[in-house]
Every structure is written in structure tokens, then in C-alpha cells.
Amino acid sequence: MLSVYYHASNTLFMNLKHSTLTFGTALLLPLAASAACDTDYAWIDKSCNHVSDIWNTGKQDLYIPLWTHHLRFAYDQDKIDSFREFTWGLGYGRSRYNAAGNWEGIYLMAFSDSHSNVQPMLGYGHQWMMGPTSGLHAGIGYTAFLTSRADIYKNFPIPGILPIASVNYRQYSLNTSYVPGGRGNGNILFFWSRLGF
């Protein structure tokens, strides 16, 4: 058991150095979000102001990655056995319910991918909510993000957009996202929790 922990810790340390660019960019998010948004492009200014507003007016969130489930129809059993599906990691974000009652947030989290490599993720999420936010409610929406993976372009940052859904009780949230794919790739359900405070 100790050797497994040592191997996981060593793998985490080795892969953190490859993710420095993405992490470094993500750590600049608070500075960028609070900076004045003034470019020659109205849509960039609008997006910048929106992110800045979420950062400044939103509440804090703790993200806890939970599980990566590879849909069994898309993989051979040998491949499934080689994957790590328990997704340890941690994240931080800020979010709010907007004037329409929908949830929107920005976040940074890092977690172990299916090959025990660190995968950082910096993104924006939006969910249309159903039910009173003071009690049990559910949401469906999307997340747009920047991530990096050791097995895709050697950790070069890549953008993405995925559907997300959640079940929420007050400030507690259980979320999932679906990663589409084909035979032997994608077809993944990723689960994480979010705690607002």
C-alpha cells in the first residue's frame, strides 16, 4: 500500500512540472478578472467584464473531483482494468446565481486522469436551474475550459466545451459531465462535487 502511495505521489510530482504553463495561466485569473477590459473587440470586452463580475460578486466554491466512469461498451476489459477511475484532486472557484436564477461560475481544478497523470482545468460554467435555489434544485448547461493532458499534445493547453448537469441542495452540488468519443476513447462520465461557502 505504501509503495502504491509513493508511486502515485511521484507521478503527481513529475506531471506537475509539465502542467506549469496551464497552472501559471490559471493563477493569473484573479488578476485578469479584476483588470480593466478595454480592447477593440466588443465581444472580448463583454466576456472579460462578465468574468470579472463573477469573480468580484460571486461566492467561493470548493471543488472535489470524485470519479471518472468509462462507459463499458466503448472499452475492452483489459483497458478498463488499466484505468484509474477514482479521481483524486481539488479545485477552487467563484460562482453566483444570476438575475434569471441560473448558475454561472469560473473555476480551476486539478485531478488525476485515467492514467494517473495530473490534469488541470480552468473554465467557465453555466447551468439553467430548475427548482428553488434555497432547497433542492437541478441544473443543465455547459462548461467551456482550457486543459492539458500528458497523452494529448504532451501537455500543451487545449480548449474544450462539454455538457454538464447537477443536482443541488442549497450550497452543495453533485455534478457530472459527458465526454463524447468512439470505440476506445472518450465515452466518459466525470463526476465532481462543489461546496459553496
User: Which residues share a beta bridge with 112?
Assistant: 118
- State the DSSP string of 88-138: -EEEEEEEEE-TTS-EEEEEEEEEE-TTS-EEEEEEEEEEEEES-TTSEEE
- Is 114 known to be catalytic? yes
Contact 197, 182 (CB under 8 A): no
Q: Residue 116 has which C-alpha cell?
A: 494517473
CA distance 133 to 5: 40
Mean pLDDT of 64-75: 96
Residue 144, phi then psi, degrees to nearest 5: -110, 135
- Is 50 known to be catalytic? no
pLDDT band at residue 176 using 50, 70 and 90 as cut-offs: very high
CA distance 68 to 70: 6
Q: Output the pTM of the full model.
A: 0.80
Annotated catalytic residue: which of 52, 70, 95, 112? 70
Contact 11, 116 (CB under 8 A): yes
CA distance 129 to 152: 34
pLDDT confidence of residue 35 = 53
Strand stretches in the chain, DSSP E: 59-70, 89-97, 103-112, 118-130, 136-147, 158-169, 172-179, 188-196
- Is 177 known to be catalytic? no
Mean pLDDT of 150-169: 93
User: Average pLDDT of the chain?
Assistant: 85
Does the pLDDT of residue 10 top 50, yes or no? no
CA distance 22 to 150: 12
Annotated catalytic residue: which of 113, 137, 173, 177? 113
Each residue's pLDDT tens digit, 13-60: 444 444 444 444 444 455 454 556 777 778 877 888 888 899 999 999
Show the domains of the chain with their CATH numbers: 2-196 (2.40.160.20)
Annotated catalytic residue: which of 114, 148, 166, 173? 114
